Structure 1
Amino acid sequence: MDKYLPGLLLCCGGAALAVLANRALPEVSALLVAILLGALLANSLEPRPSWGPGVGFASKKLLRAGIVLLGLQLVLGDIWALGAPMVAVVVAVVVLGVAGGLLVGHLLGLGCNLSLLIASGFSICGAAAVAGVDSMIEADERDVATAIALVVLFGTGMIPLVPLLAGLFGLGEYTSGLWAGASIHEVAQVVAAGAAIGPEALKVAVVVKLARVLMLAPLTVAIGWWLRRSQAAEATPGSQARARQPLVPLFVLGFLAMVAVASLHLLPHDVLAGAKLVQTALLAAAMFGLGMGVRIKALAGVGPRPFLLGALTTLWVASIAWVGVALTH
């Protein structure tokens, strides 16, 4: 355990700063602050080798624990109250968003892992989705850093853009909130855009966004199924062993269990509030660790194609969401 301590303390310290920043300025996302702090540290100092094990532990193990607790924020009744047509729109945004991102990434000549990370992050729940998918496919660190940086860049750009376009399109406050929740990448970015539109928009935008977060579970199951098939097809002893791993990761089962607990209202409000703080701290520590993998020099060398994929995927997801909202409301 001692080998993990230096990196874990570093990530926990970064998470504490990010949570304090969020407490001082609630409109500022603790997760995004943690990513930026990690990136700032990594690009200002040469990371020490002793940090590596703990940073890796935070980026994977603490991330999964945070995703499990994230399930306590999801109440199925609130999501179903959106109506079956809007739930179908959410499913379409995620399924078509991921499929479209993979297709465009292939056409641009990008690797499957990078395309999947970007498509998942933009279609579901930003950096948490990128990290969750990475825990399944174990992508290259550079691909993960690129996908997270693009989530921050394009998702932040959507904060002023969606309210502006909603006004130009003549959308009402409720409809604008539906579109914001169905199209913007991070939960915190949705909150910022929804608040800019109005209180009614903010409330419905968050519910729609949480419905997209719930889609992380079936996506990881689909990835697990695909990995089992591809590994079995390799027909090597090592790949056969990996193919026998559970189809559904334990953290996804834990996430779904917490969704059930929240939906059945089994926990008092104070416990849920405490769990939310712990969840934020765990995810912030994980995001700080992932942010340490964001190297400006490395990003400058990835070329324009990932940025083009990010722009096209943002446009694609926002378009699907707009059409879906227009057809159902």
Structure 2
Amino acid sequence: MKPIESKAQIGGILFTFVIAGVGLLLASLPGFAHIGALATSILLAVIYRHFIGYPTTIHKGIQFSTKKLLRLAIILFGLKLNLDVVFQEGLGLLARGAGTIVFSIVVTMLLAKWLRANWTISMLLAVGTGVCGAAAIAAVSPILKSKEEDTALSVGIIALVGTIFGIAYTIIGPYLPISNVQYGVWSGLSLHEIAHVALSAEPAGEDALAMAFLAKLGRVLLLIPLSFLLVWWMRRKETKSSDSAAVAFPWFLIGFIAMSFLGTYVIGDVIPFPDTMEQGVSFITTYLLAMAMSGLGLNVDLRKMGSKTAKPLLAMLITSILLSGITLFVL
């Protein structure tokens, strides 16, 4: 790589670093806390691209953050998944989480077909609704060969809708004829992001929050088999079509599995891992994800957003409402 190109790439990476930093700072404020660092970062990047723009020379650096750093962040995200807790205490919730994923994908895609919505954005939103929001969208976007703009738009939508639902849960929760623990399970099985689950369940107490996280962790775990299933499906789809481009195997998911195993059975038990180190890794993971989201946001053209996202958003919104109602009914 030439020195000028190298400096431009570093400049692009640093650019996403700065936007992510501002996003994290804003996310610590009361008004933005409900939205989260990832959504805040992507929102800032979209606004910057729309009103100011950026030199094309740093595009490669932005791409590096969008692709390479995103995969690294997902691998580190595996440390947050405690396999032991899921397998020992949440097998029933795991099965119900699988039902959430199947329902979300099937209903969203049926509605998308009926509405003639953009297929890629609809599928990304379906996976995000069923599994774990932005992280799930980021994980499956390479498998689905999603354009960066479509991925960014989907992340923004899932963050916005999930935040609205999370706040709505906290408002109506006290008036529902269910216990705090049941409320926690409902939140964990039906809300989009881990942050949204925390937002809605925390006011109901520690027991509700614990059950909410347990239900949500089961859905996160199911991202692994779902991703491999999507790889198989996409390869079969490509074989039947005239498109000869192969679907790349998501090797970063192997890293995700490995880090989940290490975090559950090795780190802390075999290898000492102080709380400060755990918090540091968590912060780095969030920062890398925020940098990746910033890179995605810089590729968004707001002029195209209305025409591309209106129908997928409607399909996802209807699915989310039905999911919340059905999950509450079967508690």
Separation (CA, whole Å) in 1 of partners of 2:11 and 2:106: 40
Q: Which amino acid aligns with 2:49?
A: A
Supply the RMSD in Å over aligned alpha carbons.
2.3
CA distance in 1, matches of 2:293, 2:305: 17
In structure 2, what is the equivalent of residue 202 of structure 1? Answer: 209
Matching residue of 1:253: 254
Contact between 2:152 and 2:297, CA under 8 Å: does it hold in 1?
A: yes
Which runs of structure 2 are paired with 1:264-283 in the superposition (5 Å)?
Answer: 264-267=265-268, 268-270=273-275, 271-283=277-289
Match of 2:190 in 1: 183
Contact 1:142 1:298 in 2 (8 A): no
Identify the residue that residue 96 of structure 1 maps to in structure 2.
Answer: 103
| SS in structure 1 of the partner of residue 117 of structure 2 | coil
2:306 to 300, 317, 322: 300
> Does residue 57 in structure 1 map to residue 58 in structure 2?
no
User: Which range moves more in the overlay, 1-10 or 102-111?
Assistant: 1-10
Q: 1:31–1:287: 8 Å Cα contact kept in structure 2?
A: yes
Q: What SS class does the counterpart of residue 136 from structure 1 fall into?
A: coil
Q: Corresponding residue for 2:136?
A: 129
Which residue in 1 is equivalent to 2:10? Answer: 5
Paired letter, 2:256: F
- Deviation of 1:187 (Å): 1.4
Equivalent residue letter for 2:296? L
Structure 1 pair 317/50, CA: closer, same or farther in 2 (3 Å)?
Answer: farther
Aligned position for 2:200: 193
Indicate the percent of aligned positions where both proteins have the same amino acid. 28
Q: Are 1:315 and 2:318 counterparts?
A: no
Q: Which runs of 5+ in 2 are unaligned?
A: 1-5
Supply the AA of the counterpart residue of 2:251.
L
Which letter does structure 1 place at the counterpart of 2:281?
A: A
Q: How many residues align?
A: 319
1:56 CA drift (Å): 1.7
Call closer, same or farther: CA 1:22–1:300 in 2, change over 3 Å. Answer: closer
Give the 3 Å change call, closer, same or farther, for CA 133–83 of structure 1 in structure 2: closer
Q: What's the CA shift for 1:79?
A: 1.9
TM-score, structure 1 normalization = 0.88
CA distance change for structure 1 residues 235 and 31 in 2, over 3 Å: closer, same or farther? closer
Of 72-81 and 161-170, the range deviating more from structure 2: 161-170
When normalised by structure 2's length, the TM-score is: 0.88
1:175-194 CA-to-partner distances (Å, cap 9, x unmatched) read 11111111111111221112
Pair 1:143–1:316, CA change in 2 (3 A): farther
1:33-77 Cα offsets, whole Å, 9 max, x none, are 212221221222123212321222211211111110011011112
Change (3 A) 1:83 1:217: closer
* Paired letter, 1:210: L
